[in-house]
Amino acid sequence: MPIPEDVTGDEIDKDVRQELQSLPKTLAEDVARNLVMVARLIDEDPEGAYGYSRVALRLASRVAAVREAAGFAAYANQKYSEALAEFRAARRMTGSVELWPVMADCERGLGRPEKALDMAGAPEVHKLDKAGQVEMRLVAAGARRDMGQLDAAIVTLQSPELASSSVQPWTARLRYAYADALLAAERVNEAREWFAKAVEADRDGSTDASDRLAELDGVEFVDALNDEDVDQDQDEEPEADLADDADLADDADDADESEDSPAETETETGSESAARTATDIAPGTADEAGSEADKD
């Protein structure tokens, strides 16, 4: 796959670069450049990121960082079985428990929430750092929801990290998940409160908490393009009315000219009937033209 010339491979994390030192220099550079592309594209173009991850995997399948990158690329494309296999391989190579939460989430993706809950109670969780433990809590709550256990999901998310007023990298996502669970349980007022708290903590826009809050508050966002279309339709209505008035005026003139002849009286009656028909149709047409507003 083509790689832009500005991608040198030096952009990768120093720990990954150190892992790649076990490879021949040219091969290490090629792998590094592909890993940079994975990192660049994984959010906006998951399929593209997946393609580059497969190239890196083909070049250096025995490097843990490569297996991990391949796992995240597969995960982003909802290829959960493949992602889980790559994460397990990376874990065997490093002995680290860092990937434990995302491995449990893969189990959820594969329709095995019970397995995810088992992993949430495993000894490995105690070896995770604070961020990893919060992530594991989010996965466990998601598994509870998968099983239809809404109240249990809410309780799972209740923690010191949720109650804390300090903002950490995980705070917005934790508050958002809690708000979403409350809303699913039809506890709307509490959900609104926690969506608002999620907005306060979401400094980089990692969630759509602001949109969810606006929805609960009944705020509607109207497409500006559709507004212009409506305005244009409204501007065109007077022209249609003028055309109808002109037709009626012509019919009236025809009626005046027909007074001298009995034969023309029959024509007058027909003209008046046509004029009435035009008048009856016009209001319906105007109503249809005025109903174009888009309430998205």
Instruction: Determine the pLDDT at residue 218.
Output: 85
Please report, as a single letter, which amino acid is at residue 143.
A
Structure confidence at residue 1 (pLDDT): 85
Half-sphere exposure of 187 (CA within 13 A, CB side): 14
Question: Torsions phi, psi of 110, nearest 5?
Answer: -85, 5
Residue among 171, 176, 187 nearest 142 (CA) = 176
pLDDT at 277: 33
Would you state the pLDDT for residue 224? Answer: 52
Name the pTM for this structure.
0.72
3-class DSSP string for the chain = CCCCCCCCCCCCCHHHHHHHCCCCHHHHHHHHHHHHHHHHHCCCCHHHHHHHHHHHHHHCCCCHHHHHHHHHHHHHCCCHHHHHHHHHHHHHHHCCCCCHHHHHHHHHHCCCHHHHHHHHCCHHHHHCCHHHHHHHHHHHHHHHHHCCCHHHHHHHHCCHHHHCCCCCCCHHHHHHHHHHHHHHCCCHHHHHHHHHHHHHHCCCCCCCHHHHHHHHCCCCCCCHHHHHHHHHHHHHHHHHHHHHHHHHHHHHHHHHHHHHCHHHHHHHHHHHHHHHHHHHHHHHHHHHHCCCCCCC
**What are the distances in angstroms from CA 229 to CA 197, 225, 235, 263, 291?**
37, 6, 10, 49, 11
What tens-digit pLDDT sequence spans the chain (296 residues)?
Answer: 899 989 998 899 899 999 999 999 999 999 999 999 999 999 999 999 999 999 999 999 999 999 999 999 999 999 999 999 999 999 999 999 999 999 999 999 999 999 999 999 999 999 999 999 999 999 999 999 999 999 999 999 999 999 999 999 999 999 999 999 999 999 999 999 999 999 999 998 889 999 999 999 887 655 555 555 545 555 544 444 444 554 544 554 554 444 443 333 333 333 333 333 333 323 333 333 333 333 33
Query: 17 with 32: CB under 8 angstroms?
Result: yes
The separation between the first and the last C-alpha atoms of the chain, rounded to the nearest angstrom, is: 40
Query: Any residues with CB less than 8 A from the CB of 6 and at least 6 apart, and which?
Result: none
Tell me how far apart the 2 most distant CA atoms of the chain are, in Å: 110
Burial of residue 198, with CB atoms counted within 10 A of its CB: 0-12 exposed, 13-18 middle, 19 or more buried: buried
d(CA 48, CA 224): 33
